[in-house]
Chain A
């Protein structure tokens, strides 16, 4: 088993954010996670990446129990993540912020710097290495965050609404980039997304979360024809064909 989250439950005070959530990702697979706002998607991602400690359940990654690990160890184990609200190091140049990630597995600057440049080139931001992060636009910042995450050389990447806030042409370019991440680097992707088109065109498997519970899972076609999902999430009169 490559990655498996099993029976994860997490509560904040009285609010149960995740209840017996189980999800699996195979090596090199792209898996999607959808659900209405407040369904507990980000909470689930944060428990995987180690920012939240789950109350019960297990997380296994490459035959290793990573349930109790913090974010640093999880990242070292090979799971990187990007955040829902684009996070950045405001005082840094693009090059340096990607270096932070690159330093995880390369202790010396002369090894880390070329690799950081490679990742910057990979996401298509070459020529902007010395630009301060706040001067990049939203699209570039998201790519910068992606580059930093890639620089940690993950085997699985959690993308929390990477496409949110992008205009359609940018979504298209990001889509290509994400496909390239999966295809060329062979990184498994676990994606939370609101832009359904992205989920439908990318994922092999989709989980649907509602009120903290998985209510359906399967291929995009199965999901988009599931009665419960359509009622709960897509609305009464949703037609898949319209969205595509």
Chain B
């Protein structure tokens, strides 16, 4: 295998890693900032992938409409979840209920779409840097879009009134309430908004992967690995780690073979847990907690 092959693998890994980063930042935002444990997000990404497939291949809707449909449905799912499962913020119960919902989504998809793998089968133009080194146009576009979306999400959180309200509520619910912010509604909105990121990530992943009902499990795991490695509640860290994991996973599969992929990736994750349990990008906090 030549150098160019390695470079191709890495380029591919970076592009896929961008998607990983996008979806992980959604998770890290939900869990780290909003304190809403959402184990359904892998299933929701899988569902978004199926919906994309459904709209584009089975209904033959134009891409824009399909995208809009996926986003609206995800927003609705987020809002409904917040109103039902995550109404009470209780970590243990939230873990259980969202894990239950994840299995519901997965098995309903299994029932309606069957376990047959689905693929958008887009023919992709590639940009050739040299005759041997190339990158797919859609992949590259997705990576750029993922970056743009994340930056705009950060800007939204930092610059707009709503974004600031969200951050205020995250920091201190009671005080934000005193300042005239309806903290419940702000949290509803924040949670639903983060689901848009999930929807977008799902659509982009659909252009690169074939999807099966248990693809969600894999996504959930990758997401965990990324969020914990980065340290919870660190959106930028999650994106960077996402790209790293994308490259790493592409390299392991490409060089050593797919059989090594899971054990090596998750083994590495365990090492990170043991060595730097607070994540690569987070500083160790002072031990005092909720007293």
Contacts and interface: CB of A to CB of B under 8 A. Distances in A.
Nearest to A55: B286
Contacts, number: 16
Interface residues of B, number: 4
Interface in B234-291: 286-288, 291
A53 B287 CA distance: 8
A53 B286 CA distance: 7
B291 A83 contact: yes
Nearest to A54: B286
Contacts of A87: 291
Contacts of A85: 291
Interface string A69-95: 010000000000001110100000000
Interface in A81-119: 83-85, 87
A52 B291 contact: no
Contact of B286 (A52, A70, A83, A84): A52
Interface residues of A, number: 10
A70 B291 contact: no
A46 interface: yes
B287 A84 contact: no
Contacts of B286: 12, 52-53
A217 B288 CA distance: 28
Nearest to B289: A51
Of A51, A83, A85, A87, most B-chain CB atoms within 10 Å: A51
Nearest to A160: B291
Contact of B287 (A12, A70, A83): A70
B222 to A, nearest CB: 32
A42 B291 CA distance: 10
Nearest to B291: A83
A157 B276 CA distance: 35
A83 B290 CA distance: 11
Interface string A130-168: 000000000000000000000000000000000000000
A51 B287 CA distance: 6
B284 to A, nearest CB: 10
A52 B287 CA distance: 6
A87 B291 CA distance: 8
B266 to A, nearest CB: 31
Nearest to B285: A12
Contacts of A46: 288, 291
Nearest to A47: B288
Interface string B190-231: 000000000000000000000000000000000000000000
B91 to A, nearest CB: 15
A12 B287 CA distance: 12
B283 to A, nearest CB: 11
Contacts of A51: 287-288, 291
Nearest to A83: B291
Contacts of A53: 286-287
Contacts of B287: 51-53, 70
A63 B245 CA distance: 51
Interface of A: 12, 46, 51-53, 70, 83-85, 87
Interface of B: 286-288, 291
Given A46-B291, A52-B288, A85-B291, 13 more contacts: A12-B286, A46-B288, A51-B287, A51-B288, A51-B291, A52-B286, A52-B287, A53-B286, A53-B287, A70-B287, A83-B291, A84-B291, A87-B291
16 contacts: A12-B286, A46-B288, A46-B291, A51-B287, A51-B288, A51-B291, A52-B286, A52-B287, A52-B288, A53-B286, A53-B287, A70-B287, A83-B291, A84-B291, A85-B291, A87-B291
Across the A-B interface, the 5 shortest Cβ-Cβ residue pairs: A51-B288, A83-B291, A52-B288, A46-B288, A52-B286
